[in-house]
Structure 1
Amino acid sequence: MTTAISAQGSKLEISGAIQAAKSITGLALGFPTIVTSPAHGFNNGDVVTFAALAGNTVLNGLTLVIKNKTANSYAVDVDTTGGAAYSAGGNATPVAWIKISNLLTFKGFDGQAAELDATNLDSTAKEYLLGLQDNGTFTFDVHRDFADAGQQAVDAAKRGATLKSFKLTLPNARTKTFNAYVKNSPLEGAVDQLVKTTGVNLRITGDVVDA
């Protein structure tokens, strides 16, 4: 039986305004770190910035992606194994997400790691190591809606050369969250066709987090 999923119902979002902070009441140290935050309301793939944690302060100042959420806890990919115990306080401040409406197609995460030539005079054939991963680009097409807040936010990010967070949510609730610059947002029209913005090119910088 196939395990394939339909792309229908996929959602792409861009980060918006900073929202109200949610209180933290505990940390379970390890990898990942488990954060206790009663009724936090976050979803997998959300982006939050941590502050004011006492005892174990490793998360303070970090902006991280939420994974494995439950009603009162979630995980972040930071290794706090062997660190100081959490003692009190702390909060996580999320960004709002703005849906980019009328999504038609998407593709991306097409980069690859650099090849580092490790060949030396003892080698009997060319030898390589892999360098840092380049996560490449993410492109998408939409039917144009000049009143849509998500499409407006994409245009604003392009004009301002502003680094933004993006979250792709698939119909099976799996998410990919990443930071990117909007390089272009071309407009397309033709006889007897809807106006589109096609080949919007996002240059990914940093990691892509699956949740």
Structure 2
Amino acid sequence: MATATVWKNVAVAMQSALAAAKTITEITKASPGVVTSTAHGFSNGDYVFLSVSGMYQLNDKVVRVANQAANTFELEGVDTTLFETFSSGTAEKITFGSSVTTATNITSSGGKFDFIDATTIHGNSKSQIPGLPEATTFAMDHIWDVSDAGLLSLKTASDNQSKRAFKFTFGPGGKIMTFSGYVGAALLPGGSAQQLVTTPSVITMNGTPTYYAS
């Protein structure tokens, strides 16, 4: 039976820094995938941002390090068995130093596939195959507070049009979702008479999210 999760006690953390990029020389097709990176210096439990060519399914993905050794580590919970073949890439350790604590609601959307018509002249019915999925977004309304550090971090990311890694931790239970994306946040105030002054933000995801039970 599924364990229900409620939108309360949710910690939203955003990347505040990335460490120096470590070169990846190999990623296996396995469950989980194993990364070779000489003297990477990562520890178990670290979160890293991947920039990958060839094995495109991992590009822009935020993953957790497991079973690290001097020159290798596992991509915890990521099955790469059916992914494309790796050609090159880097991994950067993420510091989640910005906390977003002002959101009053959140809405997710997108992810639907555009389908490509593959109907032949020999068939008697339409045939289609999935193309690219549309971008996934998280739209939030926030309490408007221009002195709040988290809101100011969102605005900085938006102004710089820079990609950021995010980590949502759902409590109790500690389920985790990680992903990367671009932020839109102008901190413009809005609302109705005698109601809370709010400001919107939107995160447009790059790649796909990673989930952890705890």
User: Which category of TM-score, normalised to the shorter sequence, fits these structures?
Assistant: 0.5 to 0.7
Scaled by the length of structure 2, the TM-score of the pair is 0.67
Is the CA contact (8 Å cut-off) linking 2:49 and 2:165 kept in structure 1?
no
* Alignment CA distance shift 1:69-1:141 (3 Å): farther
- Number of aligned residue pairs: give it: 185
Q: Does 1:196 align with 2:195?
A: no
Q: Does 1:96 align with 2:95?
A: yes
Higher strand share: 2
Mapping of residues 6-155 of structure 1, within 5 Å: 6-19=6-19, 30-33=30-33, 40=43, 42=45, 46-48=47-49, 64-67=61-64, 75-76=75-76, 77=78, 79=80, 93-97=92-96, 98-155=98-155
Instruction: State the alpha-carbon separation in 2 of the partners of residues 29 and 2 from structure 1.
Output: 30
Deviations 1:97-141 (A, max 9, x none): 111112211121422111010111111111111112334211112
Letter in 2 for 1:147: S
Secondary structure of the structure 2 residue equivalent to 1:154: helix
Is the CA contact (8 Å cut-off) linking 2:104 and 2:143 kept in structure 1?
yes
Mapping of residues 168-183 of structure 1, within 5 Å: 168-171=168-171, 172-183=173-184
Is the CA contact (8 Å cut-off) linking 1:11 and 1:103 kept in structure 2?
no
Identity %: 22
Q: Tell me, which stretches of 5 or more residues in structure 1 are unaligned?
A: 51-57, 82-90
Secondary structure of the structure 1 residue equivalent to 2:133: coil
Instruction: State the alpha-carbon separation in 1 of the partners of residues 67 and 150 from structure 2.
Output: 28
* Alignment CA distance shift 1:132-1:197 (3 Å): same
